Structure 1
């Protein structure tokens, strides 16, 4: 197995020679089976990174390597064999008249044999809990259901790397939480490398690592807990931490010693209980 699934080496990108750089000297690696969240405000360069990974764009300077293959115009189809991408609006990805047809589309393009295709359709829909909607028309589904089908279509082609580019942005908080839980379960069962692109810091708590973008550059690379300690700095670059992190930071400021920076409500309550027992 490759040590790194994705590598960016001193990457620069701009949309035209008359515009400023969208990305400036960006370098990072993403390991096999790792979940990395790339966050930043609108215009920070995070979605451009996603498009560069999948060969939708190409760097002006530097090198991008995905699954051991340098991303070039000649290699993009080899790269896309191993990379799946789910976008913000699932309606933009639907091509079939039924859920089954839609999930089958990528498999047909790869010439997958029919019996294997039927097996993968069943497995991928089961993974996202949409098996009961096999013959439904995609446009009649709810937003969360559409996104699940879009994810199933990507899973069916068995990618090594899955990119979610603001894939939960159009969902309500419950739908967002369900989609991320589903993706995490699939990642663990299928050993996927997962890359989530978002501006919502509520979505980074389960990630292994976070890359914070600002003005086209890497502003911070850290664990989620460390990111949440930098509330004031994050606000200065247009990002906001979740309520639990805000509350924890206020408590720490008045000398309430928490045993760790909490990622969610349960951890905050446990830290407060531990602090209470030590008083």
Structure 2
């Protein structure tokens, strides 16, 4: 038996009998309250993993367990009570004419009483800093604001895990940073499991664990610092390394040996200060 919240057991998937396998014998676990980043180049299978967790797709081989339930046609509605997804393009998720209506949609589908619904809408919008946009039209919001509303809609249904499927891909760097800071805070405050699907290695620094996908298989499973240290290997499978990792590598070639692989600009500055203090 396992205490994992999500478990993939030898999962394989393809989009048709004559199509190549998108996932091949994939196995991993994700615990409750854990932040796991799933990264890989386009076509590596990472977004397919997200859709399989939520029952949007079903594997041809193997099985997927979510919160004790095997994901299949009979359990998907119970599974989706525990799993909330935010996609790359929030416009594809909007169904309401106002922000309030849109956040209410998932609650209405679950038969949540109106009084409770109104409270959940207020709380979830407050959590993402969008309380002042209650009656705004979602399509008139900025990209970052749209994603905040999409996250609020997910939070309102009280999931146990949130999946961000390339949710920041359409945002500028500032918008990406704001969204990642928001979900990081929410994960800690609400004790949620968080799965971020991305090809941007800059987004994995806060994750506790990283699953690197390549050609439909788990290529590496480790912590962010170890992943960053494998720059040449990452480049070979089509992943660009973040500026901080590249800069640290160049410093090493120039004879400046840092104590550890920095994950962000703050750690880089700390390492440089430590190095300078020892001179």
State how far apart, in whole Å, the 2-side matches of 1:253 and 1:49 are: 38
Match of 1:122 in 2: 122
State how far apart, in whole Å, the 2-side matches of 1:262 and 1:192 are: 26
Structure 2 unaligned regions, length at least 5: none
After TM superposition, what 4+ stretches of structure 1 lie above 6 angstroms from structure 2?
Answer: none
What SS does the aligned partner of 2:102 have? helix
Residues 1:267 and 2:253 are matched in the alignment: no
Normalising by structure 2, what TM-score?
0.98
State how far apart, in whole Å, the 2-side matches of 1:123 and 1:34 are: 23
Match of 2:3 in 1: 3
Cα drift, residue 254 of structure 1: 3.8
Deviations along 1:138-173, one digit per CA (max 9) or x if unpaired, are 111111111100100000000001000000000000
Cα drift, residue 95 of structure 1: 0.6
Residues 1:215 and 2:215 are matched in the alignment: yes
State how far apart, in whole Å, the 2-side matches of 1:218 and 1:262 are: 24
Match of 2:186 in 1: 186
Match of 1:145 in 2: 145
Deviations along 1:45-74, one digit per CA (max 9) or x if unpaired, are 000000000000000111100111100111
Match of 1:250 in 2: 250
Deviations along 1:174-218, one digit per CA (max 9) or x if unpaired, are 000000100111110001100000000111111111000000000
State how far apart, in whole Å, the 1-side matches of 2:190 and 2:269 are: 33
Cα drift, residue 273 of structure 1: 1.2
State how far apart, in whole Å, the 2-side matches of 1:62 and 1:188 are: 32
Structure 1 unaligned regions, length at least 5: none
Residues 1:198 and 2:207 are matched in the alignment: no
Match of 2:72 in 1: 72
Residues 1:169 and 2:169 are matched in the alignment: yes
What do you get for the CA RMSD once the two structures are aligned?
1.0
What SS does the aligned partner of 1:4 have? coil
Cα drift, residue 256 of structure 1: 2.3
What SS does the aligned partner of 1:27 have? strand
Normalising by structure 1, what TM-score?
0.98
How many residue pairs match? The answer is 278
